[in-house]
């Protein structure tokens, strides 16, 4: 057993949107911060292989439910944000207020730091324009989506968002990690935290594995941001029972239709969206690399579809699933779809098909199911107070696990704002205000 010689003001576990935000804010204010990240920190190549290594290793970054529904996450610097589609959805402010958490000021503060606006028309994909025109014609409230994209760097007809943008056009939590390192934070990659060190009901450090060694590191504050799956596993190993139950993971499927006037299958995904709040359904356009589409086609036993790409309009239908299931001891996801979830998914497909039909699409079909946003495993109000503190003093959680209700929307902006709010608390700025 080794012990790091230096003691830190804060140890941040995980470098996704929550952890990266806290690390950036604390280090910017002169705090000594250590970031521990389980994944690597390799430069982005924009390749399928790199995405596969970070997001599709069974039992680590990918899990299969009993219904053969794949749930994926990114184990890398920046977490899943490194490979997300950069869709920024406004946080559920009013719902969080019911739990005593008001992030209204932080939303604008984050939007002033990160790019968060609709794409220019010339960067919209052909599929996005077909989707939006058809949806508006049918009376849907289809709007351009806010994107975490530096548009001066974005390449037209590029489809590498899912591979991690090699052009540095897509903002991700890596940007905040880089800021934190510039401000003096330290980061250790391939460091898997196993538990929190607790004395007298107070967190004083962490224990982690790195290069086949078990190491201890100590800090005044510990911020757990290992994600909706990782955080409850670490908390259970640290003596906090009951976490990891009744969570959401936003199931979805892709729907394709062939539209002859579309001549390129490439483009930025999720340029426009329809939010059917009452139905718990979100529809977006969703361009993806040809290889990724082909994998979905083979997975869905439609190998003949794998060769169709240039004329295809891909849509995504995502739903707000009910809270259910549990995270196993090793992090395995045990969650099925409830009848209401299945009804929403089918309704989402029907909406997508209606829009594609109206656009003149032929040969419409859907992918197998998957899920992308596990959260609600360490809920505010149940395991955390309004400052995101656990039952242990000096131990906080800041990632999708803290969201206390169903989501159904990409949670990145919500997590960023929660990270900003938590940072103010840790720095004492909330009391000063």
Q: Percent of the chain scored above 70 by pLDDT?
A: 99
pLDDT in tens, 320-350: 999 999 999 888 999 999 999 999 999 999 9
How high is the mean pLDDT of the chain? Answer: 96
* Structural domain contains residue 60: no
Residue 227: which pLDDT band, with cuts at 50, 70 and 90? very high
Query: 322 exposed, middle or buried (CB, 10 Å; 0-12, 13-18, 19+)?
Result: middle
The residue among 323, 355, 372 that closes a domain is 372
Q: Is there a single domain that holds both residue 427 and residue 281?
A: no
The residue among 340, 372, 404 that closes a domain is 372
pLDDT at residue number 5: 67
pLDDT in tens, 346-382: 999 999 999 999 999 999 999 999 998 999 999 999 9
pLDDT at residue number 228: 97
How far apart, in Å, do the first and last CA atoms of the chain sit? 43
Whether the Cβ atoms of residue 255 and residue 286 lie closer than 8 Å to each other: no
* pTM for this predicted structure: 0.96
CATH number at residue 29: 3.50.50.60
Q: Is there a single domain that holds both residue 10 and residue 30?
A: yes
Query: Helix or strand or coil: residue 389?
Result: strand
Dist. CA 24–CA 88, nearest whole Å? 20
Quote the domain boundaries for residue 428: 1-41+76-114+171-244+377-433
Cβ atoms within 10 Å of 278's Cβ, excluding its own = 6
pLDDT at residue number 433: 46
Domain count, the chain: 2
Is the pLDDT at 170 greater than 90, yes or no? yes
Is the pLDDT at 384 greater than 90, yes or no? yes
Q: What's the rounded mean pLDDT across residues 35-49? A: 96
Is the pLDDT at 66 greater than 70, yes or no? yes
The residue among 372, 400, 417 that closes a domain is 372
Q: What's the rounded mean pLDDT across residues 141-169? A: 96
Q: Is there a single domain that holds both residue 254 and residue 189?
A: no
Q: Is there a single domain that holds both residue 217 and residue 275?
A: no
pLDDT in tens, 251-284: 999 999 999 999 999 999 999 999 999 999 999 9
Q: Helix H segments across 40-165?
A: 48-55, 93-97, 104-111, 126-137
pLDDT in tens, 277-305: 999 999 999 999 999 999 999 999 999 99
Question: What DSSP assignment string belongs to 332-349?
Answer: -EE----HHHHHHHHHHH
Q: Helix H segments across 112-255?
A: 126-137, 173-182, 227-237
């Amino acid at each position: 057993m080794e012990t790091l010689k230096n003691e830190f003001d804060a140890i941040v576990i995980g470098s996704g949107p929550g952890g990266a935000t806290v690390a950036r804010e604390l280090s910017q204010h002169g705090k000594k911060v250590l970031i521990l990240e389980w994944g690597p920190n390799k430069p982005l190549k924009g390749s399928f292989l790199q995405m596969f290594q970070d997001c599709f290793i069974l039992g680590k970054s990918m899990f299969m439910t009993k219904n053969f529904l794949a749930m994926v996450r990114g184990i890398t610097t920046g977490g899943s944000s490194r490979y997300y589609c950069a869709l920024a959805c406004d946080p559920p402010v009013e719902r969080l207020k019911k739990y005593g958490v008001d992030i209204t000021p932080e939303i604008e503060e984050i939007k002033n730091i990160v790019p968060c606006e609709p794409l220019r028309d010339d960067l919209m994909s052909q599929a996005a324009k077909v989707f939006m025109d058809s949806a508006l014609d049918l009376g849907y409230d289809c709007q351009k989506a806010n994107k975490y994209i530096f548009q001066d760097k974005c390449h037209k007809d590029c489809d590498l968002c899912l591979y991690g943008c090699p052009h540095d056009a897509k903002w991700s939590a890596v940007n905040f990690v880089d800021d934190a390192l510039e401000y003096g934070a330290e980061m250790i990659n391939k460091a898997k935290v196993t538990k929190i060190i607790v004395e007298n009901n107070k967190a004083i450090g962490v224990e982690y594995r790195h290069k086949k060694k078990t190491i201890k590191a100590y800090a005044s504050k510990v911020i757990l941001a290992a994600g909706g799956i990782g955080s409850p596993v670490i908390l259970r190993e640290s003596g906090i029972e009951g976490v990891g139950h009744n969570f959401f993971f936003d199931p979805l499927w892709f729907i394709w239709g062939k539209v002859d006037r579309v001549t390129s299958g490439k483009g930025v995904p999720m340029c426009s969206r329809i939010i059917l709040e009452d139905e718990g359904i979100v529809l977006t356009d969703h361009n993806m690399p040809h290889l990724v589409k082909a994998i979905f086609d083979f997975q869905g036993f439609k190998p003949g579809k794998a060769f169709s790409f240039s004329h295809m309009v891909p849509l995504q239908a995502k739903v707000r699933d009910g809270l259910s299931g549990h995270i196993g001891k090793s992090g395995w996801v045990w969650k099925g779809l409830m009848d209401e979830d299945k009804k929403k998914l089918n309704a989402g497909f029907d909406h997508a098909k209606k829009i594609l039909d109206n656009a003149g699409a032929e040969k419409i079909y859907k992918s197998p199911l998957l899920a992308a946003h596990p959260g609600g495993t360490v809920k505010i109000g149940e395991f955390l107070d309004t400052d995101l503190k656990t039952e242990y003093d000096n131990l906080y959680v800041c990632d999708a696990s803290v969201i206390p209700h169903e989501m159904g929307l990409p949670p990145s902006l919500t997590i960023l704002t929660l990270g900003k709010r938590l940072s103010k608390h840790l720095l004492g700025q909330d009391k000063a205000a």
